[in-house]
Structures are given as structure tokens and as C-alpha cells.
Structure 1
Amino acid sequence: MTQDLLKTPLHALHIEAGAKMVPFAGYDMPVQYKLGVKKEHLHTRDAAGLFDVSHMGQLRLHGADAAAFLESLVPVDIIDLPQGNQRYAFFTNEQGGIMDDLMVANLGEHLFVVVNAACKEQDINHLKTHLPEGVELEVIEDRALLALQGPKAVEVLKRFNAEVADMVFMDVKTLDILGVECIVSRSGYTGEDGYEISVPSSHAEELARKLTDEVEVEWIGLGARDSLRLECGLCLYGHDLDTTTTPVEASLLWGIQKVRRIGGEREGGFPGADIILNQIESKDVTRKRVGLVGQTKAPVREGTELFDAEDNKVGVVTSGTAGPNAGKPVSMAYVRADLAAIGTELFADVRGKKLPMTVEKMPFVPQRYYRG
């Protein structure tokens, strides 16, 4: 089976490091290393973890109208995105559903876009289908992507280039690291301070080895990446977000700037705008994404059905973990909108037992992004 799977430029290094490999989004990826998922999770929160995220799609949009073009496909302010900054965005469909979520960076001469691995081909085709004259889409095939995450990430990376210490959350710049040009953003998917580094594939192994040689850094697999992002209330596409879920249902209103909403100077103009803007104004949705905390010690996993006190089915869990730092089981779920208030008690059906859970504000552990 692994013969049919794609490999990142760091595949051999993961095998050497003793990783347990699993199929993920068409790639052979490390789910954990010798430390194990829980210790990897805790190490990232305490020090610094290195993640291979080279399976993600890296794209460039060139041309004077690149920002206006991309803005026509997302309900996000791309035109006013300052040079040297990046922003979270999502492609929507005509029904208002989310096709994928992505990161968009303004590097001045072009937009640098990172999309999810499982949606990469779909997103490229989506962009190509709508591409106007004068805007060029470049699919980057020769770069790896590393994420260095955790409170000691800045101490580590500034040994390679001191400029990274001057960056704040969502800053992005082109920097020299080990003599090669890298695209570095101060961002990540763990809720911790950290960086994502796009590096030429030919230099990826050297950089990964140098980073993991630092005493603070350990390799971290997909297992801990999942529990880290969930504790910090971050969605995983294909689980907490999909084509049938609108940004309003997904509690992602913070990602739709006022300029794109009703009354804004660039109101609407994206797929599904009528549906999404109507939901924002009317607050009329049947379900909402919420955080849930277990009142027992049993983790409540994806797919678990949720019930109210009268035993009516009222929702389903989309992500769940034991919550190593939260100290209690934490989950994300979609529940009936009238049951989404903080403090509401619901019951999860785990192997025939109804386990009590409480709707709680996310993130479950504080996000520690560096804002200066």
C-alpha cells in the first residue's frame, strides 16, 4: 500500500528517526515517533516540536489583480492584506459550504497560498477554473514545509536568523536560513508561538537535521498535531469543516472581515454570499460548532452521537481527544443551535453509555501566539 503513497522530501528522515508511518491525504506520513503521542504533545507545549507538513499544497498567485481574484472566491479581505502579513481564509461553494480552509500571505510581488493536502487538487482546479487573464497560478512542487512550534521555537530559530525574533503572529517574510531563501511565517496549528518555514526541497533534510539537533527540539507526528490543534480550538478540514457547513455554523465569523459583510464597501461577491450574509444578519442557523468538556475521564471521539436530557439526538462530535494539557476530555461538535450556549449539559453515547458533557468556550487551553 505504501508504494502507492506519495512521500515528502523528509520521508527517509522520519524512518531513520523511528517514526510510525500511516497513510494520510495520499502521503506516507509520521503519526508518532519514539516518544509517543502524549509526550510529543506535552513537549511541544513545554519546549519546541518540529512537524513535517510538506504534504500541504504551496501555491503562488502572480499579477496585479491576484488579490481581487482570490477575494472573489473567499469571504475574506485579501485586497487590503498588508505586505508582510498573512490571513486565514476559506473557499466557499454556492451553497455557502466550506470547500477548504487556507492561509494567504502577501509577499509583495505575489500572494503565497497554503492549502490542505487532501483538498490540494480540488483547490488548484477551482483556482484554474476561475483564473482571469493577467493572473498566473504557480503550483510549487520543489519546496518542503516545516513547522517549528512551541514556547522555545523563537529561541531556536533565531540561532539560524536573528530577524525571526522581530516578527509577530501572522507576519511573513523571505529570510536566509542556512544560506537558502526560505519563506517564514510566525504562525502554526498548535495554538503555540512558532513558525512555518517553506524551504527548497533540496535543503529540507539539512534544515530538519540542524533543527532537531537543538536540545529543545523533538520530532512531532500527526497524532500530537491533532490533539494540540483541538485543545486550542482549531478546526480540521474534513472533520470540523466540510462542503455542507457554512462559516456561520462553524463559528468562523471572526474570519469574515466587516468590509465583506452587509454594508461593507466590498460586500459579498463570493460564492454562497447570499446564504452566508443572510445567516450573519438573521443569526438563523439550525446547528453550531461548540466545544465540549467531558465530566468523566473517557475521551469522546469523532462520530459520537449527542443527546439532550430527554434522550433526543441533538448533535454529533467531529473531533475528540483526552486533552493532555486541558487535563480532561475535550471535543468539538455540531449541536442544535438552541443548545449551543456555554454551560449546556449534553450526553455522549459512548458504547451504549450516556456520558455527561458540558458546552464550554474554546480554546480549552490558552492560545499563546506572540503578538508583541
Structure 2
Amino acid sequence: MRGPPLSTHQSTYQTIRWTDGDEARRSARWRSESAAPPPARVRLADDRMTADEAYRLACEGTALLWHGDFQGARQLLGAMARRVDRGPRRKRSARPPAASPAEAFHRHRQAQQRRARVLGMLLVPIDADHTIALRRAPDVREACAQAYGPPDGPSVASLREVLGLIGAYEWRRGGVPVPALGGDRVHPHYGVFSPVRGEYVDLVADAALPAGTALAYDVGTGTGVLAALLARRGVRRVVATDLDPRALACARENAERLRVADRVEVIRADLFPPGPAQLIVCNPPWVPARPTSPVEHAVYDPDSRMLHGFLDGLAAHLSPGGEGWLILSDLAEHLGLRTRAELLAAIEGAGLRVLDRTGVKPRHARATDPDDPLHEARAAEVTSLWRLAAAREG
């Protein structure tokens, strides 16, 4: 899946301000990958603060800048999470059942956003050299450098974000094994969607290549996993495109690691590179909704912008006899956010015809979790590879 349509690095310098124990005014750079504004009210907190008090203050919009033990902050965050998760359950029990799958999805998204907002109120200071000067704090310098770039002064971020970038650093360091690549690993960068849902990779691995495919495009390459797979399958030249600088760097690094850099060219482009190709592959975000964090750009596509952009431009970029491979889950259909008829109309309206469609059931844990708020839709989900061609050749 592709990364964000624009760079997720902050383009403006925002500042968070607070008062310390001596009533002196302090300030630092504010970091938020979700582009949340710096909180207007900030209170110092340490290990003496109870979870109930922290939760109440966070719900009221007061941020807590932690000055205690780092592991104590992690425990407090877990306690706050349990409280915020209990709250929506009580409210749901008093609300009527969702009238439709779309309403259930929107309620789920609202609960997710509220959870992120409340838990994002627990903050930690990051020193000018990317260290966290708290007791028992881990060494996050390399993780911060990979996410934020070189040190550029003291900053403050939510503990939730810091834990996320630590986790992303471990994913990048260890990599994700990809069976379709013979078990070789793809190393996702921070903010770039990890290919942990391998069914879409398997679809591309198993589909028959159009005859004589020498040039292929991977539109919205993300980690570059599909570009590398096409090169491994014998395509002599693959051009991989993306708009996000993190995705571009990630795809280039993975091409080197997977020993296909001589056949994979990674370029910055909004969808298509110039000129035609025999095969054009695209795995756009699957759900037409607004993302709220960098990695969500790989899942949520507002107004199906990328899907429609790919379909509308595909025929003009296909060589005679060429194919476009659209990898798309039907989760949005089961959620009532898009119908199959609308998808087929978009394909026909773009001057395309369907050659074939191959589907596979997802293997991720949430597909079989009855406690998932979207379980019914996830249980019915099918991920498909749509083989498309121009309706009229020449």
C-alpha cells in the first residue's frame, strides 16, 4: 500500500509551553505525527499521580508532561487506556444498535479518535540529542533519528507516539519475512505500511504476467515489496512511484537489500510515471475515509482519491495488450462505504474492462475475532486482484 500523499514530516515549527515547579516559563518543539496541535494546558506530572486523576485531566483537555520514572509512565498509560476503553463500552450499552454497517464503522472511528486524543495527553520530554532524560528510559536516539531526522533541539511528544516509534524501529531493524520472496525480509520505515497482510503479496506472486512484460509500474510502492516481487519474477525493469519521502527512501533501501536495485527504479510521482508499460500494479488504500496518522494513509483514502486516480489514468498508460492489476479489499463494501456497482461503474467510466478477478480471504487475527467492533464486515472480507485492460485498444 502506498504512503501518505504528502510528506508527513512537519512543515512548520510548533511550540509547546508550560510552567515548571519554580513557576518559570518553559518551551520546546512540539512533535506530533498526526498533526495534532500542541495542547493549550500543560501540567507537570510524576509517579505520585493516580490513574484516575490522569484520566480525568486528559479527558478535560489537560496534557501531562511526565517528569517521573519512564516505566511508571508506561504503566500509567496502560491504566488510562483501560479506563478509556471501559468508558465507550458503557456508552455503547446505553445507545441503540448501529442502524447500518456504515454507522458502526463511523462509531468505531469516533471511539478510536477519542482514545487517541485522551491517551495522547501523556507527554514526555526529549532532549536536544534525542535522549529521554527520565529514570529507566530506553535509548531512543536511533529511533528518533529515523522518525524525526537529525537532532535539532529539545522537544516534547506524546508517550504513545514515542512508544510507536520505538516499535517501528524494531520492525525496521528486524524486518518482516515475505514468503513470496522466499522468506527474505522487507524492512518498513517509520510511517510506511508494513506488508504484514501477506495475502495481497501472494496474489501478485501467483498471477500470470502479461506476455512479454519487460516494463512494469508499481504505483504507490510503499515499502517497495511489490516492485521487488515483480523484479524477482523476471520483469527486467520496474518503476516504483510514491509521494512520501519516507516511502521512497524505504523502497530504495529494500531494493538494495533484496538485490533488485539494478532492475527497480524508485521515483517521486503522483501515481504514474511518464510513458506506457505492459503491466501497472496498484494497491491503493482500501477504505474511503480520512486518515488520522501517517500509517493510516495506507488504509484510508479520502473520497477514494487514489483509487479513482489510478483507474482514470490507467488506460492512457498501458501499452497495447497491457494489463493493470488493481489489488483491493471489499471491506469498504461490507461497511457500506462503497458498493460493488460503484466500483464497476468507475472501472467502465475510465474506459477499462475486467479481464479476471482472483480473490482470497484475509488471514489476519481480526478477521476471526468476534469481539472486534467490525467483526461481521471483517469476517466477510475478500481481497482481490482485478486484472484490467483498456476497453478499446489503439
Q: Which structure would you say has the larger Rg?
A: 2
Say which structure, 1 or 2, has more relative contact order (CA 8 Å, 6+ apart).
Answer: 1
Q: Same fold (TM over 0.5)?
A: no
* Greater helix fraction, Structure 1 or Structure 2: 2
TM-score of the aligned structures, taking structure 2 as reference length: 0.24
